[in-house]
Every structure is written in C-alpha cells, then in structure tokens.
Structure 1
C-alpha cells in the first residue's frame, strides 16, 4: 500500500532531480527522464520528442553538476519537449556544441583526452548526435557559478535554434525593416 502511495506521489511536481539513470519515477529522475514524463512518453532518459544533441548535453550535465545547480535544470525538462528538429537543425546544434566545447578547451591548458584532438573537434558519428552534447557538457572542467551560467545559456541557445521566426507585420513593413519577429 505504501509503494502505491509513493508511485502516486512521484510526479513531475514532486520529483527532485537526481543524478544517474532511474528505473522508475519512484526512484527519482534526471532532467531527461522528467522530460519523458512531461511529454507523456514512456519513462526514459531519451524521450523521442527531444533533440538528441540537447538531450546528450542535459544528461551529461545533470550527472556532473552539484545537487543545487542540478535543480536549475528543472525548467529544461519542459523546454526540451518538442525540440527534435530537422536534420539541418540538429547538425547546427551539434556544431554549436562542438564550438562551445572548443571554447572551453582553449580556456584551459590541458585538453580533454577522451576525444580526438583536432581542430575543429571531431565526434565519431557512430556515437550518435547526442555525443556532441555529451562532449560539450564534459568539456567543463570545474563547475562554478560562471560555468553554470554559460551551460544554461548554451541550453537556451540550442533550444532557440529550433524556433522559426515569424514575421508579425505586413510584407511592406518586412521589406523596409520595421517588422517585428516572434
């Protein structure tokens, strides 16, 4: 009876994000497992509606960051739902993650060893699109307020890359540059 009550209480409003992979919401959830719950998909850290590049970053970052900073990822569980994009969008996200990781690498003296050292950085395509996101998250050497802010800004940027601007004015206004985009 108490297990049934726990299962009923484990929902998107009560789960505290934790590191690692979980078998069920009653054991906790990482940011991507919570995303699968919000999407109405089977409980998984790889929801079908989420961009694999962003998912790779969020899974790796969720597991590497401290408990307090991890809770800042809560909103991304909702924002990542529906981000799976076209091949072009996902390649652009992949490229941005690699650029971002390269920026982190240049900031320190010793490069990461787990991936080929070349410029631009290469990710083995057989690893899947999420490898670039994972690589970017692992490129953070020390988790500080500054690196955390940069990681959150990258997530925001990656999510935005899939949104198409819509012109909200007449074609004449668009032509003369006075139109606004949403």
Structure 2
C-alpha cells in the first residue's frame, strides 16, 4: 500500500536528501516512487538502479533553481529498467563524458580510468548502443589527453588483463563524474547536470526500446500531486 495519496493541491518541491513523507519534501526518486505506486522511497524498484543512483546525485548536487528543472524528467524514469549489464557501462560512459572536459585535473584521472575500463568492456560488442558509447568515451578522452595518458599508465601498472566494470565500479565513476561537474570552475554547472540526467534517461530508453511518453496512469498521478 502506498504511504501517499492523491491530492490536487499538493505537489512536492524537489529538495536534497531523503524525506520520511512528502510533507517534508521529496527528492527526484521519491517522487518517482509515488508515481509508480510504490512505497515512498528514494530507492524504488521502478527505475534501473544505476540510473536512479545518477538521479539521486544530480538531485542533490544541483541548486534549488536547477533542481526544479529536473521535475519534467521524473515520469520518464518510472518503469525504466533493464537487467542488461551493458546499461551500467553506458551510464558510466555518459557521466564520464560529461565530466572529463570540465572536471579538475585530479578528478579527470579517475574518470579517464573509468572510460578506459568501459572501452575494454565494450570492445567485443558490435551493437548500436555499444558503438555509440565507444564514440562518447573516445571523444571524452581526446578532450583530456594528459588524463588519458595517466590512465593508460595506471592500468598497465595495475596488472595485465582487462580492468573490471562491475556495477559498483560503474556507479563509482558516476559519483566521481557528478562531483567533478558540481565542483568544476564553470558557470553552467546546473545546465550540465540537468543535461547529463536527461541524456542518461534517453540512453536508457533507447537501450530498452521504450519511447519517452509516460503511461496514462503515471501522467494522472503526476498531474494530481501527493500528500500524506
């Protein structure tokens, strides 16, 4: 049973962190849990775990004004999930591609290592999604040649064989990417973070073969709002 009910006049304003009820506010994924008809949670089952991880990070690292711009994306993540391990890699590549050109040098290195690991994981795949991810990774690495050279040396020194790309490691890359953008010495951090999440949603939709249009039920819940 849901812990929230429909109410036409109350729609939570997105805010940082977890919230015990919608009266205390809501983060991006908590509102998604409501739209999915799940128990109020920032870790709902309705969204792929790594995409949800990115959404929570972007929610917490944008300004109040930037966070408000995330709201239209929420219905799109409801039911957006897959058990294909490729998706974790694709999302890590998308995040690192966004961060590497603007992150501070010390953060660029870990992002470059993540991209090199992703390229190794994608090397034997010939599908369209993998090809697109390889192009993103190579483009990002070209934007930071010093970090890429460091990453190559680091991987060689660590040992032979392909670097692993576990779910945890993909999410670590994403965490570093969002932190890198959020702390970069640039004036459009919000724009970049919002664009990153939007691109990640689109990447996921393409992989699972879903259009961006939410279901009627999700639209009705979004239009109605929530209260405790």
Q: Same fold (TM over 0.5)?
A: yes
Q: Pick 1 or 2: higher relative contact order, CA cutoff 8 A, min separation 6.
A: 2
Q: Structure 1 CA distance, aligned partners of 2:40 and 2:9?
A: 12
How does 1:21-32 map onto structure 2 within 5 Å? 21-32=18-29
Correspondence 1:138 to 2:183: no
Name the structure 2 match of 1:119.
112
Alignment counterpart, residue 96 of structure 1, candidates 94, 97, 101: 94
Secondary structure at the aligned position of 1:163 is classed as helix
Correspondence 1:37 to 2:78: no
Alignment counterpart, residue 160 of structure 1, candidates 202, 209, 227: 202
Where does structure 1 lack aligned partners over 5 or more consecutive residues? 1-6, 167-182
* More helix, by proportion: 2
Paired residue total = 155
Closer/same/farther in 2, CA of residues 41 and 161 from structure 1, 3 Å limit: same
Alignment counterpart, residue 47 of structure 1, candidates 24, 44, 49: 44
Q: TM-score, normalised by structure 1?
A: 0.69
Alignment counterpart, residue 87 of structure 1, candidates 80, 85, 88: 85
Give me the CA root mean square deviation: 3.2
Closer/same/farther in 2, CA of residues 144 and 101 from structure 1, 3 Å limit: closer
Q: Deviations over 1:96-116 (max 9, x none)?
A: 2233232332xx4x4239xx7
Q: Structure 2 CA distance, aligned partners of 1:97 and 1:83?
A: 18
Closer/same/farther in 2, CA of residues 45 and 143 from structure 1, 3 Å limit: farther
Q: TM-score, normalised by structure 2?
A: 0.56
Runs of 4+ in 1 over 6 A off after TM superposition: 9-12
Closer/same/farther in 2, CA of residues 41 and 144 from structure 1, 3 Å limit: farther
Between 1:122-131 and 1:55-64, the stretch displaced more is 122-131
Secondary structure at the aligned position of 1:112 is classed as helix
Closer/same/farther in 2, CA of residues 23 and 128 from structure 1, 3 Å limit: farther
Secondary structure at the aligned position of 1:45 is classed as coil
How does 1:168-179 map onto structure 2 within 5 Å? none
Deviation at 1:11, TM superposition (A): 8.0
Closer/same/farther in 2, CA of residues 156 and 33 from structure 1, 3 Å limit: same
